[in-house]
Amino acid sequence: MANMFFSEADDLIDIRHDNVFKAVFTRDSPVSQGALSRLVSALIDKNVSIITITANEPPIGNIRDRQIRFDISCRTENGELVNVEMSLNPAPFEPIRLEYYAGRLFTSQGIRGTDYDYDDLKQAYQISILATKRFFPDNEFYHIFEYYDPINCVTLNGRSRIITLELSKLDRVVEKPTEAMSVREHWAVFFRYLTDKSKRRKINEIVEGEEGIAMASEVLMTISKDWEEWARLESELKYELDMQSLRVHAKKQGRKEGLEEGLKEGHAQGRAEAMKDAARRLKAMGIPLEQITEASGLSAELIEGL
């Protein structure tokens, strides 16, 4: 694989946005699937190869319902089940939600029939990368939870696990020399600081040393350089943030009618403004006018005036 380095001038898409995260790790390519296998291996602490990926929701090109959470459900070569998701703004009830879906993931395995018993159940991992909030009181960014007797300090040794990465707890980790970091720390720092240009040198050191992260970077750069894909993702991101801002504003005002009106108005205006913003950036990149027109649906006159 060719060396993949980011310059300080590179304007990268934030991989912590769930749709970008999914776009990087679920492409039908050896590089994307290799990156996912290495990410999962680092988080569950054993080498695995992902052989199947199941889409839990509409394809990454679908922007009709921004309430749907983007996650990746996959199966290893040994039949183990893994669900991975990026949560940019996780809700306060996130730990309980993770427990619920970990249970559903584990019990989704079918063992009915005369040839099966409970020993045929495989490991199931519910993994959540929590991008912006702290949930647990310690300073450790990585946690792995399982059924456990806290009084007698005895584990059940069950086969379901909940794994969390809190990216808000990396201030001290990122200051460590790259060679002193674990693979797990490399991934966490990559996710949090990828778009921070002051940490670009550190990111490049990590990319150089971790093949899986280099693979993810290659896919991300492909997305960033593919102007049509970039425009679509930028449009989605702006629309998502517009909707979030409208909801928060309406909630602060305490008016139900304000929320309903804001959502209705934002649905139309948010996507239109997002597309204008994407077209403006593409124009600045020197993309031909007719290509921008075709991708955005905007008129040539409007684009020329941006």
DSSP labels, 45-91: TS---EEEEEE-SS-TT--S-TTSPPEEEEEETT--EEEEEEESS--
242 and 96 co-located in one domain: no
Last residue of a domain, one of 206, 225, 244: 225
- Does residue 264 surpass a pLDDT of 80? no
The separation between the first and the last C-alpha atoms of the chain, rounded to the nearest angstrom, is 39
294 and 182 co-located in one domain: no
136 and 231 co-located in one domain: no
How confident is the model over 85-144, as pLDDT tens digits? 999 888 888 999 999 999 999 999 988 877 888 999 999 999 999 998 899 999 999 999
The pTM of the whole model exceeds 0.75: no
76 and 133 co-located in one domain: yes
CA distances, 246 to each of 69, 123, 275 (Å): 19, 41, 18
Q: Is 2 part of any domain? A: no
How confident is the model over 129-140, as pLDDT tens digits? 999 889 999 999
29 and 118 co-located in one domain: yes
Domain that holds residue 92: 18-225
Q: Is 10 part of any domain? A: no
215 and 235 co-located in one domain: no
Last residue of a domain, one of 161, 194, 225: 225
Q: Is 97 part of any domain? A: yes
Q: Is 168 part of any domain? A: yes
Q: How confident is the model at residue 58 (pLDDT cuts 50, 70, 90)?
A: very low
195 and 254 co-located in one domain: no
- Does residue 71 surpass a pLDDT of 90? no
Contact predicate 4/12, CB 8 Å: no
289 and 141 co-located in one domain: no
Last residue of a domain, one of 178, 210, 225: 225
132 and 172 co-located in one domain: yes
CA–CA dist 276, 127 (Å, integer): 36
Mean pLDDT of 18-26: 88
231 and 217 co-located in one domain: no
219 and 231 co-located in one domain: no
User: Dihedral (C-alpha) 262, 265, 267, 269: value to the nearest 10 degrees?
Assistant: -120
- Structurally, how many domains does the chain consist of? 2
288 and 212 co-located in one domain: no
